Amino acid sequence: MKVEKKIFIFALLVTCILILIYKNNINTKDNEMTSKMAESTLTLNNFSDISMSLENLDNTIITVRINSSANDSVIFGEDYIIEAKNGQKWYTLPINKDIMFTSIGYELIKGTSFLWSTDYDILYGKLSPGKYRMIKSFRVEPPQGTPKDYFVSVEFTV
């Protein structure tokens, strides 16, 4: 199977999974965040060969640098999640209604980095002042073996 086809399939799969996971948190009123935030249950940053750092936050446009030191191919897409910190716990924010991610896939090889940007206002609207984190999912595909999914995050303040 060609790499491009694998990337496309992965991006499509992740998009479908995220829609299913978070469909109960979809906001029913345009650009309004409801109080129905679910406590985060994701295991983050559990793969030291992938890291993400904040490069820039300009109004609602966030830019991150994704680095890979993994020996195997690392694949990721346009999907992301934003969570808000309340006390010591993180809560997943509901997304705006009728929003989907494009099925674009990116591949990182060992020793490379990728500058990625998004306007979070499209999915989440204007965020209130506070502490947040962006979470992205990644898939590591060894040539021989089972692919594994990981989540990494970067924190930011509005």
Given a cut of 50, whether residue 33 has pLDDT beyond it is: no
Q: Which residues contact 79 (CB under 8 A, 6 or more apart)?
A: 11, 14, 15, 18, 101, 136, 137
Q: What is the mean pLDDT of residues 4-22?
A: 52
Whether 52 and 135 have beta carbons less than 8 Å apart is answered as no
Q: What is the pLDDT of residues 94-103, one digit of tens each?
A: 888 777 667 7
Q: What is the mean pLDDT of residues 52-62?
A: 94
So what's the pLDDT on residue 120? 93
Tell me the per-residue pLDDT of 142-156, one tens digit each, with 9 for 90 and over: 888 888 888 999 999
| Digit-coded pLDDT (tens) for 105-120 | 888 888 888 999 999 9
Looking at the chain, which runs of residues are DSSP E strands?
38-39, 50-58, 61-68, 73-77, 81-86, 89-92, 105-108, 112-119, 131-141, 148-157
Residues in the chain: 158
Beta-carbon count within 10 A of 59 CB: 10
Q: What is the number of domains present in the chain?
A: 1
Contact 65, 115 (CB under 8 A): yes
CATH of the domain at 44: 2.60.40
Instruction: State the residue range of the domain holding 139.
Output: 3-157
